Structure 1
């Protein structure tokens, strides 16, 4: 199970988001707690009125809306009663058991998930502290609930992407009924999975990920009104990579993934992605050292097996001018130049051209001690360097490395 908590300033927006899903037959209200009426009898005015009544007890606190989603593995089939029990258990464990809250079961993604709308203002006007609630109370609650309900553990996936995001089918969302709402829903599903997970530091890097799901974040041309006002729209792409359908302004999407919001992510991701650079370098070096003379398209295929997508940018003449690496295992995005000169478009193409061909036939050995040709030696050194690099990184991050260093220092002291 994966839990996400979003705090905001508008109870109305959080409630309307879920109520709109109900109207679109993409969600169902399955549970409510601490309301004056039973769930089936609640009208929109009852829901909003109760939440706002609690929030009104503390007008100094502007952040009074809490919107939670609990996400489950696609293989889990959870009935209504189980989802109700999970919601109650979670809310109790994070300190919201006495708050009014609404539980919606959503069916608009490839995995089962529920949304919970509540307020952090108590009946007596005191507020429930939200600082670090995700790391502390929520994380403890998640682990306990996984045990209590025998759910698939989120951390058992070893930081892999837990749920599959399906690429948007342009024809379905554009030419189906309710094209605008269908497009918005499809885009939102992708953004909800990509934006909080992947570590990108620019709009082109984000688009390197989004394009794989037939979505793009578009500022427009430099002369356009959108670009000049710092705006951003999201578009669906067809199989040819062309923008089609209705553009959806970022401000119209839940969580408002505007350019200003994304730029905050750019800053924080600069640091967050740094530990994962070496994995991508190692994968490239190892592939080039072991596969012989290959094309860049073949390199792309080999890296894909390591869950690294190589996004190639080329002009109308077919000349490659840029490379972006999307590591889906660590969910990190890098331009070639970010990894260092050997990994940018120009240098990488030169490296590919200079790699010797691996000999397919066994050489005729005339001297038992002399078993390597010049090319074999070159390749062997390259391969050894790549493998040494892998073990060097592992050693740096291994607790045994620190232990070995302590042993060396201790041994030195014994001989002084």
Structure 2
């Protein structure tokens, strides 16, 4: 099992992305904890209700910038887990990571060949205290190895885990090589997700600190049509152009 941990300033982006998947029957709400009913009277996922559950927590601490804890849990393709097994795995993972008493919502996705989980929570508690996250990646890896042994799951392939870590992480302009970071995120998103619209693809990229804007114009007398993408950390301080080729049966750049 591989975990990909992300953070952000608001859970809205992660919730919207998961709602789009739920609305298209490519995902479902597996369970939630310490939250209001996340559905409206018509049985549709209600982002406002989810935000109302989170709001008292991040309003209690306005100093912390990255208040969101968003993790993807990817079992091995060889593991076919039941809904109950996925629930128990997600619950134990969150407890051992220190988020057992936090509000969180778990989504099961089936938009790629293997089912995987998205968990959205917060890094601050109801008193506004920031939860400790020292050595978070290392602790996460150790917990997953324990869960694999406990539930008899196939161990993660080292190369696959490294590829996931390199390809799918939030762009950080302070690390440099922004163009390379963005390109890696775009390629990994296209490889691991199926987007059926331009808007959905943009929403997905926002989870990795990348924004996309459509651009048309003329360069050296030649017309072009494409997109400009960049890291939205602070202001869009670094950008590069990516030509849009097709969005048929999933967005491809």
**TM range, smaller chain:** 0.5 to 0.7
| Contact preservation (8 Å) 1:233, 1:248 | no
Aligned to 1:196, which of 168, 174, 190? 168
Of 135, 145, 155 in structure 2, the residue corresponding to residue 143 of structure 1 is: 145
| Aligned twin of 2:20 | 20
CA contact (8 A) 1:105 1:114 kept: yes
Bigger Rg over Cα: 1
Structure 2 residue matching 1:160: 3-state secondary structure = helix
Cα shift readout 1:131-169 (whole Å, capped 9, x = no counterpart): 43112x212211111111111111xx3x3336xxxxxxx
What does 1:221-300 correspond to in 2, within 5 Å?
A: 223=219, 230-233=239-242, 235=244, 243-245=245-247
**Aligned equivalent of 1:152:** 154
Change in 2 beyond 3 A, CA 1:74/1:54: same
Map 1:276-355 → 2, pairs under 5 A:
none
Which structure exhibits the higher relative contact order, with contacts defined as CA atoms closer than 8 Å and separated by 6 or more residues? 2
Deviation at 1:248, TM superposition (A): 6.5
Residue 8 of structure 2 is matched in structure 1 by 8
* 1:143/1:231 CA distance change after superposition, 3 Å: same
Runs of 4+ in 1 over 6 A off after TM superposition: 38-42, 191-194, 219-222, 246-250
Distance 1:82 1:248, change over 3 A: closer
Indicate the residue corresponding to 2:102 in structure 1.
99
CA offset at residue 129 of structure 1?
A: 2.5
> Does residue 82 of the first structure (1) align with residue 92 of the second (2)?
no
Specify the alignment match of 2:233 in structure 1: none
User: Given that residues 11 and 52 in structure 1 are in contact (C-alpha distance below 8 angstroms), is that contact kept between their aligned partners in structure 2?
Assistant: no
| Cα distance change of structure 1 residues 73 and 115 upon mapping to structure 2, 3 Å threshold | same
SS at match of 1:17: helix
Kept in 2, the 8 Å contact 1:6–1:66? The answer is: yes
Distance 1:141 1:249, change over 3 A: same
TM-score, normalisation: structure 1: 0.42
Pairing of 1:61-140 with structure 2 (within 5 A): 61-135=64-138, 137-140=139-142
The Cα offsets for residues 295-337 of structure 1, whole Å up to 9 and x where unpaired, read as xxxxxxxxxxxxxxxxxxxxxxxxxxxxxxxxxxxxxxxxxxx
1:76/1:112 contact within 8 Å kept: no
- Offset at 1:120? 0.7
- Cα–Cα, structure 1 residues 226 and 36, in superposed 2: closer, same or farther, change >3 Å? closer
What secondary structure does 1:5 align onto? strand
* Superposition TM-score, scaled by structure 2 size: 0.66
Cα distance, 1:89–1:107 mapped onto 2, change above 3 Å: same
How many angstroms apart in 2 are the aligned matches of 1:59 and 1:232? 35
Displacement of 1:90 after TM fit?
Answer: 0.1
Task: Find the aligned partners of 1:234 and 1:111 in 2 and give their Cα distance.
Answer: 29
Compared with structure 1, are the counterparts of its residues 53 and 131 closer, same or farther at alpha carbon in structure 2 (3 Å cutoff)? same
**Equivalent residue number for residue 62 of structure 2:** 59
Are the counterparts in 2 of residues 9 and 65 from structure 1 also a CA contact under 8 Å? Answer: yes
Q: Which whole-Å CA distance do the structure 1 matches of 2:243 and 2:95 have between them?
A: 38
Structure holding more strand per residue: 2
Larger relative helix fraction: 1
> Contact between 1:14 and 1:67, CA under 8 Å: does it hold in 2?
yes
